[in-house]
Structure 1
């Protein structure tokens, strides 16, 4: 009987040790996030389809697998897309004329600034722009990026520093750059 009680006690202690060892750092990090007093509210929506219109005309349509609407205690809410976003720009005939994709995005409501990060790709008829960070300032109606690569349909490739573009990417500028361009055989004739 004494041996059986000792075996039972060892079994219970082993189970207790296993259950305690399953509590790791990840659980503690999650608990810290849940108890964060700086966030008043966080609402999560999955498979979001966002329409952006201006003067009652649809200008863009965005798709995000996850959209978190966050309201911090100090105000200044924001919308975060931790799994990325794809935005299609739409012309007056409801045709897609370009797109932006990124692995992460955040839209700050008060500042009216959207930041796209990680594997950002802008595509339209005149260029493809690849960067790791692109900022859209809704008030200025401009895009900004510290650096990126512009690829044109003719094969021209430019490394652009301090890149900026109008909201429709019809006008692009950069401060410093380098790259390769292709000149047709009949150039200068």
Structure 2
């Protein structure tokens, strides 16, 4: 990229803010569009099943709900706000918030579905790696803290770029319904 020799056009400012510490050499990348998530906008109210999107999804047909596969005690569903293409979640049918509260059967099936999801995603999209995780509680970043869900996020070398942060755009190669069908067929 052409630039002025100082970070290809990035402007560096070292401003001391009164009462907020001393100036440093760190660059700041501000993402004000994430504030809605931080404030909890559009999150379900309360901890009961009536407002829980996962409980509602489990009652819908697979295509409408973007459910990839169903098991005895869990299901795999695409994330409506994916970090990457193929980002899905393994969710118990039972409305439970805390990992230690899962039954032994639920725990095993969460693990088995996670393994299966990784195999399927690798087969259909040649993912280079995965981020797998549970955010337990609001303080830990759980968007829907009242209903446990494990994220399975496929990763490829170079998949993190400037588009979501700078361009306010997420690049996905196909519609979620098409991704659901591809994964469901391979499941």
TM-score, normalised via structure 1 length: 0.22
Structure with the greater relative contact order (CA < 8 A, sep ≥ 6): 1 or 2? 2
Structure number with higher strand proportion:
1
TM-score, normalised via structure 2 length: 0.22
Structure number with higher helix proportion:
2
Structure showing greater radius of gyration is: 1
